[in-house]
Amino acid sequence: MELNGKTILITGGSAGIGLEAAKQFIEQGAKVIITGRDQVKLALAKKKYPSLITINSDASSQEAALSLYNQISELGGIDILYNNAGIMNGQDNLGLSSSKHFEKASMEINTNYLGVILLNDLFMDMLKSRKEAAIINTSSILSYTPSNLVPTYSASKAAVRFYTEALRDHLQIIGSRLKVFELLPPLVKTNLSENMEGKSITPDVLIDALIKAIKNDTYTIRVGDTKAIYWLNRFLPKAAYKLLNHKGVVAKLRS
């Protein structure tokens, strides 16, 4: 798939993986629109990359999603929708040490999973009408085996993975040209994962892999340790689970 000349919308694009993606897509000759909930971060991103179009929007809100769609339509539409926005709550999400377990779990599911479906549904006809278009959904290494520190986050990413595979097959069955990519990051050095233990990669390494995969029409993009966990989980699922829930994780749960 060609990126030069494409218009790309990145949700959660004001920092971390999303901002790195914006940078590299601009370098590929794309027009990039980013969204985020923090206006200060959006302004800083715009200052760093002046060609960016920034829109304040909440990926989990139906009202905000519809407003975003209308704004994008007025701008001429998009060719690629990159569902990158995500939130992760800590170990109190287990419901053992917090009275807000349901509230936090709902936030994660609404943003990480239902928000993806919400935007895909809104932009589907627009994307299907383009000569060459794509959806990029971000799942996770934790979609294969969960981390006990972030159970609902893990579940939300597993949901994204199954949904993405089904969406891709459905579009192929109806003969649509719309491409569906799934990015499965390992642990990435961002604010989202600052309290997670383990070997991590930097956002630029992740997005390098994403861009190469898009250009080669590689629809399932397992990066770094995700490749190892994928294969290990297929043949030795208990070993994969223990690898992601090692003694350091257990110690955090007990603290």
User: Which residues participate in catalysis according to the annotation?
Assistant: 153
Confirm if 81 and 118 have CB atoms less than 8 A apart. no
User: SS3 for 100-147, per residue?
Assistant: CHHHHHHHHHHHHHHHHHHHHHHHHHHHHCCCCCEEEEECCHHHCCCC
CB proximity list for 171: less than 8 A, separation 6 or greater: 178, 180
The CA dihedral of 142, 218, 114, 66, to the nearest 10 degrees, is 150
Phi, psi angles (nearest 5°) of residue 147: -100, 130
- Of residues 225, 73, 31, the one with CA closest to residue 144: 225
Confirm if 184 and 86 have CB atoms less than 8 A apart. no
